[in-house]
Amino acid sequence: MVTRGFTGRRPASEVADRIPPGQSLTADFPVLSAGPTPRVSLEDWSFTLKVGPRPVKRWTWEAFNALPQTSVTRDIHCVTKWSKLDTPWQGVLVDDLLTDAGIEPPTPFTLAHSFDGYATNVPVADLVGGRAMVATHYDGRPLTPDHGGPARLLVPHLYFWKSAKWINGLQFTERDEPGFWELRGYHIYGDPWREQRFSGD
């Protein structure tokens, strides 16, 4: 008898190995937002890199899209307990943003900021080395507004609340400063494999 995985394409054991503790597979793509979806026109869109309060580089939509493009396929894990395998994204690696800005990370921590006022903290080590991007496309199409379009952060190895939708900037901070959910009881780091859902986990 042939054993089939949930997807019908992979052995069940291989799929199981990719699902962190307490998570379940989903085939669709749930939308989770703390508030209404901000509508950002591409003319008004910009992305600013800051060191503390000081802006060091700003890209318009046109300039941003002229940066090197990278495609990745990654598994994602939401703290509300769904995981989705093999999600395909395209965008600009944080590495390529830093190269274009001509800076080395000046501090070990960042806050990602969004057009809806949302913020989330991510250590620099989790953003560089090809581990994170500012994504503009999902599954070959421009990112829809509900999923964070025009652009969102993608840090797939951390719980998905770290992947800030409607991102408009990245700020280097001296300390690991809690963002929106981290101030409301969620874990400061959020590693799904260590099940770091809430502070104290």
Q: Which is nearer to Mo ion, 172 or 190 (CB)?
A: 190
Half-sphere CA count of 121, side-chain side, radius 13 A: 20
Stretch that binds Mo ion, among 13-21, 30-38, 104-112, 142-150 (CB under 5 A): 30-38
By the 10 Å C-beta count (0-12 exposed, 13-18 middle, 19+ buried), 140 is classed as exposed
- Measured distance CA(80)–CA(153) in Å, rounded: 19
3-state helix, strand, coil in the chain (%, to 5): 15, 35, 50
Site mask for ligand MTE (CB under 6 A), range 27-66, x = bound:
---xxxxx--------------------------------
Could you say whether residue 131 binds ligand MTE (CB under 6 A)?
A: no
Nearest to 112 by CA among 151, 70, 157, 73: 151
Site mask for ligand MTE (CB under 6 A), range 71-100, x = bound:
-------x----------------------
Total of chain residues touching ligand MTE, rule CB under 6 A: 17
Asked if residue 79 lies in contact with residue 161, where contact means CB atoms within 8 angstroms, the answer is yes
Q: Which two tokens stand for residue 72?
A: 């990745």
The option from Mo ion, ligand MTE, none interacting with 89 (CB < 5 to 8 A, set by class) reads: none
Could you say whether residue 182 binds ligand MTE (CB under 6 A)?
A: no
In the complex, the residues that contact Mo ion under the rule CB under 5 A are 32, 78-79, 161
In the complex, the residues that contact ligand MTE under the rule CB under 6 A are 30-34, 78, 114, 116, 118, 147-148, 160-161, 163-166
